[in-house]
Structure 1
């Protein structure tokens, strides 16, 4: 019997991307929690799975996939018979890739980093990071005008990649008050069958 294992940190938005995608596909992996506070990501056992020492890692019956967006691609290609999560037509596939890059770039350097400061005590410049977060949110707000999802007329892995850190941006002192299109998009993701939330921390504007 095939066994899916997810090496996971509940408060990590990167980990949540993988957990959310698994749930949206109706998959129930074994969850292996990594204790970041005590250096679990630096253990020899974990580094054998991901030499960069980062979560999440997916083990699909011995096939190891590291990096959250890589896991989204793998899961869509392997377990989505409908093809909707990662469309194959050239234009939509390109749009999905664009937003995966935004998730790893501007979203990571904005909302994700802002939350790292407040939740994990990371030593980034708060003002600069919050400015970066609002810059990408303004672009997404405009992009979602007249659209329900980021890359297609239905949810794709682009939306999954962007969701976690934007939904939790207020924990990094990044308000979503002035982004009604973004908030409506978040609600659409949260209404999908199989949606699972990431735990909220009482940090930033939330606490």
Structure 2
């Protein structure tokens, strides 16, 4: 598999992380996203007219498959090498995974947009982006708290799925866009659970079980009091 990749892109990192967790070797083709804007050049526009990355070119045994959406890339890699990340196949769990995959696009638009505006000075209403990101984080925190009440560490059960991998990077990098994670203990515990997975790999700004603050140890019962 060939991944057209930018090291600082959380969406590209999703693909690299999923491949690492699945034990899949990717051939990385670095893209000069910033400042070169190579993703909008003729070579990459021929692969993806939307002018975005990541782009995954599948092995020849899967034909001329080119994937340009990170959620589809995660599902494809998991389907080939780590089907447990696709869940049990039960309708309820499959639907919940799909719902979180859709939710991850909101994280990209809000927290990712704030990060691009803050770090790369892209045009954008930073206040509105941060507000939208905080709203998404509150929704995620509430869902993860409910999961903790059931004794489950991940978004749709006791084991990670593509839903967790899709949502993790933009949440973990929220501080790059000026959005703190201090107020979200369930999110921080969930991020630590992902960082502790066998095969976890880092990207700039996302380290293996490394935080400046101590572990949150709040229990669901204590939080309810």
- Kindly indicate whether residue 32 of structure 2 is the aligned counterpart of residue 35 of structure 1: yes
| TM-score, normalising length: structure 2 | 0.83
User: Structure 1 stretches of 5 or more lacking a match?
Assistant: none
Aligned runs of 1:59-74 on 2, under 5 Å?
59-62=57-60, 63-74=65-76
**Aligned partner of 1:176 among 181, 201, 204:** 181
Between the aligned partners of 2:107 and 2:51, the Cα distance in structure 1 is 21
Displacement after TM superposition at 1:118 (Å): 1.1
> Which residue does 1:127 correspond to in 2?
127
| Structure 2 residue 154 is the aligned partner of structure 1 residue 152 | no
Matched, 1:50 2:51: no
Q: Is the 8 A contact 2:23 2:81 kept in 1?
A: no
Kindly state the Cα deviation for residue 93 of structure 1 after the two structures are TM-superposed.
Answer: 0.5
Secondary structure of the corresponding residue to residue 85 of structure 1 = helix
How far residue 109 of structure 1 moved from its aligned partner, in angstroms, is: 2.5
Q: CA deviation at 1:188?
A: 0.5
**Structure of higher RCO (CA pairs closer than 8 Å, 6+ residues apart):** 1
| Deviation (angstroms), 1:152 | 2.0
The list of structure 1 runs, each at least 4 consecutive aligned residues, that deviate by more than 6 angstroms after superposition, is: none
